[in-house]
Structure 1
């Protein structure tokens, strides 16, 4: 009883998008009269008794529209699979509410939580979710998802869910420049670290905005991330030859922290030069994303590290609100002395969708998951029902926004509320509505950003990384800040950082990383 009370309290906070959709009879087909609709609902009610209830608890997409009880997309899924789907979406993609619900013991049939966390690891360790290998012969989309893209996620040969890692094979961040400033100063988008330094100096000292005041600087970005340990200057480390996004390997074939790679000290010297010359935002180590963007839009700095894709037009339009003749440009990050370059780190965080041991009909639950990652399922969630939500003439798709608005589709050709947040994001799918006038430019930014994405040496988060990752990242960020501001020399800082990083859990992280690395080398 207590477990059910806890579950009830958790799900009491679930957003109004929580929906129970029973049978295809809830779908209102265009052109039917009210009498026929009522008759259809009565028949559907009887028909739905033969359907299998599937309860799905998910974080969903925090920005999506609420799903109504008569949603025709959910009804189409029910009709296709012979299920009665209940979708419960926690508010604001709050994974902690999913964790509490699972810990209560009152399990849904299907659950989506955060991948690479102690909570989802506990689901597997405590036998709360089932292995999916048994469905490989009958569920080709599940099999392809796991064996083609996430083969490394198996534990002792078993796959306990479908991981979805954000920015695993796609990226969208680049260094965005004020192209009009470059043009005014006779500069091009920088191709090398020397070009980059010269551009930032010019943006700071040569009055690029023409107001006669020394009130601009070259570069801004967000503060370092305690989640990934990433810095606003990762592109410098990669330019000096850092080979991986997470670790490095020493001459003896041992996995080491990336700051002990030979690239780190010369890269830090370059970064500190920029800092000491005052060509970067003096508040860079405090910036969040809105503050960073505000400085770029207001003409206080000439370049920023920022996500593009859907945002590329927003960035340019925001700059032009104050500077009507402004333009922006983007490109590959600058190359180092030996021609190396890189910018974006391959992701390790994301979501995982599992079937719980409490599910009374796991075969149907697996069929549902298989459909959600199929092309047919994708087309339904992104386009809708042909003839109702869109029409197609050859390769030309025309959206019926009035009908789509009735069924939890976002505006301007964007997808249904169930499309994103559990198995996909638009970036990883390369999805921009065909009706978007800036679609080609947006997709081009992803192509460029993915070209400079750096791979992880170890694809998955190890148990020790899950437990100690935040602590060791905090240690790194503190030393990075101290070295940048001259509170400790770079050479001494690396030595002290290595000791404290290991003491805070780094030794355990390296032990597991080395075991995985060596086992994979043996397979090769």
Structure 2
């Protein structure tokens, strides 16, 4: 029994049951072709019909290759439906018989459990970098793509264009989809109708931001005669991540980098030991004590936060826009017909500094496993999803069925698109969402997008306020200890915010506990990485 098997044997039964839940939960939803967008967070499984999968223009005599793909879903996608014609078309073009298993968005633990149980798909999408992916590479569970590069022109071109850092000893064990490097849609959002009612402009400074929150809390903008409205609302982080929803306040006070900072000796230290962190915390504590922040934010996920916003329980929130403009404003108007979504740059601090968006160090990683009997065919499936041919199929559908085209004008057949699980208003098929690209990265908006100007403008606004990283890549120590130190950070941040602990004492304790939880190893690794970068600040 190899090392990987030894690590998982004790949990075998539990893991196998949990992995099966990805499929079992999906089976109960397979017939629900009319489910709402938010139901895409339920796990989904779909096996395509094989009626069209037995023909292939290049190899009609070969039996179609049975290929299983395990991936994470997306909040904006609809569930897969039975007898999906897009899946059938992929089968036809690639001569495969595709089975797709979709876990809820961000549910990488379910992906890890499925792999650990031994129930390997041919192709898998998960989070990268991660200790799981590192283990899978070491144990030979993931296969390098290098041997098939002559059949993967799109993948190879993208790997050669700035993704060389993802290679392991010169081998690429998957396609790392890193989103948001050059563009962001992360903004401050607010009830524009409330600001108009209160005679307020979008806040440009921290002082104006605080005044706006106070007006929302104290002046009854929803007109129900009750003091039941909070100013700012956010949500808890994805499990294992650090809480960053208040970071725009820290950047306003001059925090220079998103990940770490340098001390007077030029050494890399935790960012919470920079003076701007203390100033930001003191500002946030004041907001919290004045009930300007929803005190239960740490209990909310993103959908719950948005529901509070739609239901007039809060007037300002953070979050992504671009393709979400119509969704958020549409949902707002369902509850409040006169509701209007507004957005603005992050507020500037005393010295005019501001920031909000950060460049990621993580990716969605799509790889071929050693379960694949035909790894070249599995790699070609990833290439297809990333290629222009694949993107056109997943975003537009089959010409003459899902859309027609005259010159550059596209007419969407929404009735036919709905039958195959396309999101409404020209948006894409479930398989298009988030595994190898996002709409924002390729500037994709359907021609029917009603808010196309605001959607594009939200990206323009957000992308002006990137905050750099001091260290450009995640180290092995960060992968190993990141979850543990983030748990410590989050707990202390919330306690500091709520005034449960003195600021100076809390920051000092945070530094001590953070280092004990693995921070010492992290600091050693990031200081070494910083020296390798040859960066001077």
The answer to whether the 8 A contact 2:48-2:88 is kept is no
In 2, Cα distance between equivalents of 1:454 and 1:44: 49
Secondary structure at 1:279's aligned position in 2? coil
Alignment of 1:449-460 (within 5 A): 449-460=462-473
Alignment of 1:291-440 (within 5 A): 291-320=304-333, 323-440=336-453
Alignment of 1:435-450 (within 5 A): 435-450=448-463
Alignment: residue pair count = 505
- Counterpart in the other structure of 1:19: 47
**Further displaced range: 243-252 or 260-269:** 243-252
- Unaligned 5+ runs, structure 2: 31-44
Aligned match for 1:256, one of 256, 266, 269: 269
Secondary structure at 1:379's aligned position in 2? helix
The answer to whether the 8 A contact 1:229-1:476 is kept is yes
The structure that has the greater radius of gyration is: 1
In 2, Cα distance between equivalents of 1:128 and 1:236: 43
In 1, Cα distance between equivalents of 2:411 and 2:482: 47
- Counterpart in the other structure of 1:157: 170
Q: Deviations over 1:448-476 (max 9, x none)?
A: 22333434333443332233222211211
Report the CA distance shift for 1:141/1:378 in structure 2 as closer, same or farther (over 3 A): same
Q: Note the C-alpha offset of 1:498.
A: 0.5
Report the CA distance shift for 1:209/1:106 in structure 2 as closer, same or farther (over 3 A): closer
Secondary structure at 1:305's aligned position in 2? strand
Q: Note the C-alpha offset of 1:57.
A: 2.4
- Counterpart in the other structure of 2:504: 491
- Counterpart in the other structure of 2:33: none
In 2, Cα distance between equivalents of 1:226 and 1:66: 26
Report the CA distance shift for 1:258/1:18 in structure 2 as closer, same or farther (over 3 A): same
The runs of at least 4 consecutive aligned structure 1 residues that moved more than 6 Å come to 2-9, 43-47
In 1, Cα distance between equivalents of 2:316 and 2:309: 7
- Counterpart in the other structure of 2:80: 66
RMSD: 3.5
- Counterpart in the other structure of 1:33: none
Report the CA distance shift for 1:412/1:177 in structure 2 as closer, same or farther (over 3 A): closer
Report the CA distance shift for 1:298/1:355 in structure 2 as closer, same or farther (over 3 A): closer
Aligned match for 1:238, one of 238, 248, 251: 251
The TM-score, its normalising length taken from structure 1, stands at 0.84
Aligned match for 2:104, one of 92, 98, 102: 92
Secondary structure at 1:418's aligned position in 2? helix
Alignment of 1:121-136 (within 5 A): 121-136=134-149
In 1, Cα distance between equivalents of 2:238 and 2:371: 37
The answer to whether the 8 A contact 2:284-2:497 is kept is yes
Report the CA distance shift for 1:360/1:416 in structure 2 as closer, same or farther (over 3 A): same
In 1, Cα distance between equivalents of 2:56 and 2:315: 61
1:111 and 2:111 matched: no
Q: Note the C-alpha offset of 1:51.
A: 4.9
- Counterpart in the other structure of 1:36: none
Q: Note the C-alpha offset of 1:342.
A: 1.2
Report the CA distance shift for 1:470/1:164 in structure 2 as closer, same or farther (over 3 A): same
Q: Deviations over 1:106-153 (max 9, x none)?
A: 644333233233222211111222222344455321112222243322
The answer to whether the 8 A contact 1:223-1:231 is kept is no
In 2, Cα distance between equivalents of 1:44 and 1:217: 59
Aligned match for 1:269, one of 269, 275, 282: 282
The answer to whether the 8 A contact 2:69-2:99 is kept is yes
In 1, Cα distance between equivalents of 2:340 and 2:49: 48
In 2, Cα distance between equivalents of 1:280 and 1:68: 44
Q: Note the C-alpha offset of 1:323.
A: 4.9
- Counterpart in the other structure of 1:53: 65
In 1, Cα distance between equivalents of 2:467 and 2:187: 13
1:481 and 2:509 matched: no
Q: Deviations over 1:44-74 (max 9, x none)?
A: 79965425625232225364433545x4433
Report the CA distance shift for 1:517/1:490 in structure 2 as closer, same or farther (over 3 A): same
- Unaligned 5+ runs, structure 1: 28-40
The answer to whether the 8 A contact 2:72-2:108 is kept is no
**Further displaced range: 502-511 or 336-345:** 336-345
**Further displaced range: 365-374 or 496-505:** 365-374
In 2, Cα distance between equivalents of 1:322 and 1:401: 25
